[in-house]
């Protein structure tokens, strides 16, 4: 009986030590979260360090009233801002080197579309695109569309690997800067640039190149339609701003399209382009 | 404004807005010793074109420009053809002639200069898409050639391309 009591005492003692350790660990985690500014506890107390300089929603209060049980706002750090002359749709010149080590700069301006294919030599998904680019005449891209492959620079890619996958005659630029300029999240990634405006008009990912081709065809049609409309109507009359909007409203009403018309509120690309027989969804979203 | 700067083989070219380009040395054929060539254009340069724009000038629009900076071997140094010291930095409309073209395409206009820059013999060849628009195009040419830089030693290791 005495022996059993001793054993139980030892077990209780061990459990006590274990609970104390867990409590200490939990306290350390809470302290670390608090130091990171997650807001556990009372982050609004005077003297507390602040780590919220780069949070989204600038100008909004990040503090909660004591005891508030709402969701905790986690700090979201933002990347460095783009240079003043650039935006999320600007399309700067791509400067880098070729896989053979020569210097090369490609501008995306001009009266054509430029399809930038951001690929890597090692990614498995990219392999299908490298293979497709071996036969450029079978890609099916619309005329006046320039295909340019952009890999990261020699600091992050092996030029020999890129050279072994690049077809003869294919324009390949190795430029890590370009991946930053075009805010490429990973490979494969495609960016479509309208040279006449120098803006990105579409970007995104795709698994098969025919998906990209479909997007380029649509973008080309959109671009031409926009040019015709702009040149023949409000643009030709030198209208801009509210006058141009008013002119557009008159054109729509003359065509029988009144405010609230369902055609003004497409819910899918099929509403815009008509129903297609393909199952594939467009791979690339509008850049804005 | 960020400017793309091409830099390779002892040639540096800050590219004015709307220009693209490449600086390269062709693979040697037989016992030939190739030297650096720089091509610049305001239109999309095909991947494989001639040193002086073969395969490219036929793609030019009226408002386009093509320029080639072509280096010769050291055996050309001191020859009368390369007596001029320094690259022309400011051309005029009268420097361009419709018949100064390696490939005579109707409406185009060209100019060619031989010179020695930084101890290296070069020729500069420029084609305008339209002779009639030369007064508008020549200032753009001058923006390009006015900032081209050539260093004395073409074999010096340099960063091929950068931006400033």
Quote the CA–CA distance of A105 and B22 in Å, as a whole number: 6
Across the interface, whether the CB atoms of B20 and A106 are under 8 A apart is answered yes
Query: How much is the CA Rg of chain B, to the nearest whole Å?
Result: 15
In Å, the largest CA–CA distance within chain B is 44
The predicted structure's pLDDT at residue B75: 93
Rounded to a whole number, what is the distance in angstroms from the first to the last CA of chain B? Answer: 8
| Statement: residue B41 has pLDDT above 80 | yes
- Residues sharing a CB contact under 8 Å with residue A153, sequence separation 6 or more, in sequence order: A96, A97, A174, A175, A176, A177
Across the interface, whether the CB atoms of B161 and A97 are under 8 A apart is answered yes
Across the interface, whether the CB atoms of A110 and B43 are under 8 A apart is answered yes
φ/ψ (deg, to 5) at B95: -75, -15
| A83 interaction partners in chain B (CB closer than 8 Å) | 2
Sign of CA dihedral A45, A50, A53, A55: negative
The predicted structure's pLDDT at residue A282: 46
Q: Which residue of B has its CA nearest to A94?
A: B4
Across the interface, whether the CB atoms of A104 and B161 are under 8 A apart is answered yes
Compute the nearest-CA separation of A288 from chain B (Å). 23
Quick one: which H or E segment has residue A12? helix A2-35
A168, part of any domain: yes
Compute the nearest-CA separation of B160 from chain A (Å). 5
Quote the CA–CA distance of A113 and A221 in Å, as a whole number: 11
Query: Out of B2, B47, B162, whose CB is closest to A83?
Result: B2
Across the interface, whether the CB atoms of B160 and A111 are under 8 A apart is answered no
Sign of CA dihedral A213, A215, A217, A223: negative
Identify the segments of chain A with pLDDT beneath 70. 36-88, 223-241, 268-288
Rounded to a whole number, what is the distance in angstroms from the first to the last CA of chain A? Answer: 80
Across the interface, whether the CB atoms of B4 and A105 are under 8 A apart is answered yes
Across the interface, whether the CB atoms of A107 and B61 are under 8 A apart is answered no
Under a CB-based contact definition with an 8 Å cutoff, are residues B33 and B46 in contact?
A: no
Q: Which residues of B touch A (CB under 8 A)?
A: 1-2, 4-9, 15, 18-25, 42-44, 46-48, 61, 160-163
Q: How far from B78 is each of A172, A227, B10, B124, B149, CA to CA, in Å? A: 38, 55, 20, 17, 21
Compute the nearest-CA separation of A117 from chain B (Å). 16
| A114 interaction partners in chain B (CB closer than 8 Å) | 44
Quote the CA–CA distance of A150 and A152 in Å, as a whole number: 7
Q: Which residue of A has its CA nearest to B159?
A: A103
User: Could you list the residue range(s) of the whole structural domain that residue A144 is in?
Assistant: 94-223
pLDDT above 90 covers a percentage of chain A that reads: 19
Quote the CA–CA distance of B9 and B38 in Å, as a whole number: 10
- Residues sharing a CB contact under 8 Å with residue A196, sequence separation 6 or more, in sequence order: A110, A111, A223, A227
Quote the CA–CA distance of A77 and A102 in Å, as a whole number: 37
CATH number at residue A101: 3.40.30.10
ipTM passes above 0.90:
no
Q: Residue B162 forms beta bridges with which residues?
A: B5
Output A50 or B112, whichever has higher pLDDT. Answer: B112
| A106 interaction partners in chain B (CB closer than 8 Å) | 20, 44
Give the neighbor-by-neighbor strand order of the sheet with B149-150: B149-150, B11-14, B4-8, B161-163
Please spell the DSSP secondary structure of chain B, one letter per residue: ---EEEEETTEEEEPPTT-EEEEE-PPP-TT-----EEEEESS---SS--TT-TTTGGG--TT-EEEEEEEPPGGGTT-GGG-SBS------GGG-BTT--SS--TT-EEEEEEEEETTEEEEEEEEES-GGGHHHHHHHHHHHHTS-EE-S-TTS---SEEE-
Compute the nearest-CA separation of B80 from chain A (Å). 31
A118 alpha carbon, distance to own chain's centre: 13
Quote the CA–CA distance of A69 and A168 in Å, as a whole number: 62
| A85 interaction partners in chain B (CB closer than 8 Å) | 1-2
The predicted structure's pLDDT at residue A136: 80
Across the interface, whether the CB atoms of A95 and B2 are under 8 A apart is answered no
- Residues sharing a CB contact under 8 Å with residue A158, sequence separation 6 or more, in sequence order: A121
Q: Residues A2-41: pLDDT tens digits?
A: 888 888 998 888 898 889 888 988 888 888 777 766 655 4
Quote the CA–CA distance of A157 and A122 in Å, as a whole number: 9
Interface test with A, best of B1, B3, B4 (most A CBs within 10 A): B4
- Cα torsion A14, A17, A23, A27 to 10°: value is -150
A85, part of any domain: no
Interface test with A, best of B7, B10, B22 (most A CBs within 10 A): B22
Please spell the DSSP secondary structure of A111-179, one letter per residue: SSEEEEEE--SS-HHHHHHHHHTT-GGGS-PPTTEEEEEEE--TTTS-HHHHHHHSPTT-EEEE-HHHH
A243, part of any domain: no
**How many domains does the structure of chain A reveal?**
1
Quote the CA–CA distance of A248 and A157 in Å, as a whole number: 50
Q: Which residues of A touch B (CB under 8 A)?
A: 83, 85-86, 92-98, 100-107, 109-112, 114, 146, 168-171, 175, 177
The predicted structure's pLDDT at residue B124: 96
Quote the CA–CA distance of A242 and A136 in Å, as a whole number: 46
């Amino acid at each position: 009986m005495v022996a059993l009591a001793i054993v139980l005492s030892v077990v209780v003692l061990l459990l006590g030590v274990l609970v104390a350790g867990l409590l200490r660990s939990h306290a350390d985690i809470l302290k670390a979260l608090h130091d990171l500014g997650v807001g556990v506890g009372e982050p609004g107390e005077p003297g507390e360090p602040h780590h919220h300089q780069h949070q989204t929603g600038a100008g909004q209060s990040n503090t909660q009233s004591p005891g508030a049980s709402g969701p905790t706002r986690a700090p979201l750090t933002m990347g460095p801002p783009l240079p003043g002359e650039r935006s999320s749709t600007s399309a700067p010149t791509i400067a880098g080197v070729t896989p053979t080590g020569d210097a090369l700069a490609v501008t995306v301006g001009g009266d054509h579309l430029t399809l930038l294919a951001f690929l890597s030599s090692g990614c498995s998904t990219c392999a299908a695109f490298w293979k497709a680019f071996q036969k450029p005449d079978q890609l099916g891209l619309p005329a006046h569309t320039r295909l340019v492959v952009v890999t990261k620079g020699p600091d992050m890619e092996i030029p020999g690997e890129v050279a072994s996958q690049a077809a003869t005659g294919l324009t390949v630029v190795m430029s890590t800067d370009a991946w930053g300029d075009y805010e490429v999240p990973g490979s494969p990634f495609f960016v479509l640039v309208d040279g006449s405006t120098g803006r990105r008009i579409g970007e995104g990912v795709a698994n098969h190149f025919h998906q990209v081709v479909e997007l380029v065809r649509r973008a080309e049609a959109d671009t031409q339609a926009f040019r015709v409309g702009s040149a023949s109507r409000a643009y030709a009359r030198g209208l801009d701003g509210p006058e141009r909007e008013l002119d557009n409203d008159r054109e729509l009403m003359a065509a029988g399209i009144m405010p609230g018309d369902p055609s003004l509120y497409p819910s899918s690309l099929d509403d815009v382009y008509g129903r297609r027989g393909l199952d594939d969804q467009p791979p690339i979203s509008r850049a804005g | 404004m960020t400017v793309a700067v091409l830099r390779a083989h002892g040639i540096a070219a800050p590219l004015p807005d709307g220009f693209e380009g490449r600086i390269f040395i062709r693979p040697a054929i037989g016992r030939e010793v190739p030297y650096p060539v720089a091509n610049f254009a305001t239109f999309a340069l095909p991947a494989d074109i001639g040193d002086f724009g073969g395969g490219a000038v036929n793609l030019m629009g009226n408002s386009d420009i093509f320029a080639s900076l072509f280096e010769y071997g050291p055996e050309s140094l001191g020859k009368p053809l390369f007596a001029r010291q320094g690259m022309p930095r400011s051309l005029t409309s009268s420097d361009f002639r419709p018949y100064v073209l390696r490939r005579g395409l109707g409406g185009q206009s060209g100019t060619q200069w031989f010179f020695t820059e930084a101890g290296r013999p070069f020729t500069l060849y420029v084609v305008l898409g339209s002779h009639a628009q030369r007064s508008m195009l020549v200032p753009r040419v001058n923006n390009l050639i006015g900032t081209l830089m050539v260093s004395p030693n073409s074999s010096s290791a340099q960063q091929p391309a950068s931006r400033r």
